[in-house]
Amino acid sequence: MSITRLHSGPRMSQAVVHNNTIYLAGQVGTAGADIATQTQDCLDSIDRLLAEAGSDKSKLLQVIIWLADMADFDGMNTVYDAWIDPANPAARACGEAKLATPEYKVEFIITAAV
């Protein structure tokens, strides 16, 4: 069994690759920025981590999105819709949750194939 961990710290890894599947830690944007900026920051981080693990957004399996306030749903979707590969959309869920700090508006959790 082979497990590869990327950008590991004492509490977590930013990505774990196992059995040709990539699991990303929750990705957040610049604390205090608006929803569009935070969403773009998250997606940029996702692109970088997937590339480092040998994948890309066309191989997304599942996207879980947590919003601190569902009022930001449309603003997040505007950025997400411009980013997502429409030929290969993932299974997706989006809900409202209290995030790690009130300055975070959105968090993305990703599972993808290698």
Domain boundaries, the chain: 3-113
pLDDT higher than threshold 90 for residue 51 = yes
Q: 75, 35 in Cβ contact below 8 A?
A: yes
CATH class, domain 3-113, is: alpha beta
Predicted confidence at residue 14, as pLDDT, reads: 97
Distance CA 90, CA 15 (A): 18
pTM: 0.95
Site of tokens 């969403």:
39
Q: 61, 91 in Cβ contact below 8 A?
A: yes
For residue 112, the tally of other CB atoms under 10 A from its CB is 25
Confidence label for 1 from pLDDT (cuts 50, 70 and 90): confident
Provide the token pair at 43. Answer: 């997606």
For residue 73, the tally of other CB atoms under 10 A from its CB is 15
Predicted confidence at residue 96, as pLDDT, reads: 98
Predicted confidence at residue 57, as pLDDT, reads: 97
pLDDT (average), residues 76-97: 97
Q: Kind and range of the H or E element at 74? A: helix 73-83
pLDDT higher than threshold 80 for residue 75 = yes
Strand partners, 107: 28, 66
31: Cα separation from own chain's centroid: 15
Percentage of residues in the chain with pLDDT exceeding 90?
99
